[in-house]
Structure 1
Amino acid sequence: MSTRQENDLQSSRFVKEGNADIELQRQRERQESAKLDTDFRTKERLTLQDQLRLNAITKQEEFSSLVKDRNSFNRLSKQDVEFYESLQRRAQLENQSLEEFLEKNTREYDKKKAQVLAHESGRPESVPTRVQVPAKITKKRSMPSKNGIKGVIKKKKSKSNHEVPENRDHSKVETSKGSN
């Protein structure tokens, strides 16, 4: 390299004694120190108790959000609840209309049947307007037979009826005749 290039390199590396701009350097130092002061003020250290409290609060918020997300699968929104209720109402109305239809057609069938029977027998009968069906249909019970309940065979009585009856604990019971 030439000596001139070496001198330019050296001059760019080293600051000469008289060429230093002290005021510019002080201004830069002030700016940096002000920046550090503001950073320190904004980042004031919290006590350990405050740090633990903040940490617990953030963990609780995270946990509650996880629980809310997990439970959201099981919950129905108001719109969903209204939709299902409308489906139930619609199904009830359909069932009610079906019952009314069946009752009406049953009455008409009974009327026509009565008319046909009256026409075939040759005597006019009054057409029943409404057939009453009992709420609960029960089977008539037959009277018990001589032997008791149908299908049950009773054991024959023993010949010695005049013995002294026994208690359940197999001790004999004394009976008194006319001793009052």
Structure 2
Amino acid sequence: MTTERTATTPRVDPSTTSGEREALEQWLDFHRATLAMKCEGLDDAQLRTTSVPPSDLNLLGLVRHMAEVERGWFRHVLAGEEAGWIYATEEDYDRDIHATEEDTYEEAYATWQAEIAHARTLAAAHGLDDFGKGKRRDGRTYNLRWIYLHMIEEYARHNGHADLLRERIDGATGD
């Protein structure tokens, strides 16, 4: 099903006077909302539009990728959960980016939002200096502060990609 979405994502500018944790959470939410805004008003076919060859990067893939990233850092690393990957497979580790005609924004967005909600719940139970119960592939442990900072960096980098993808699709620019 291909449906066009309209602009509805609220995005709140982070406070200029908040404390450390509040600032980290506000900036992360700002970047989450930015990615959603970049997808608004586009149908599924447009969201699967790739960038410049040979790259197969697309907006739908970025949303799916960020669902995987949320799961990886909050479920796997912070909570130590054994949750499997959402899209990645043994045959295609980058399956999140490789959106097909069957993949929809409706499913990807719902999955992404569910991972964000779960991430917020997990983070709320930890202090910034608390180390996660899980480890990354490199075997290191990470505290919540590092995870927040990395997530902000991850979204900011991919939101730059989203800017270029959106401009390629319909000429829309802006933050």
Q: TM-score of the superposition, structure 1-length normalised?
A: 0.17
Asked which structure has the greater CA Rg, the reply is: 1
* TM-score, structure 2 normalization: 0.18
Higher share of residues assigned helix:
1
Larger relative contact order (Cα-Cα within 8 Å, sequence gap ≥ 6): 2
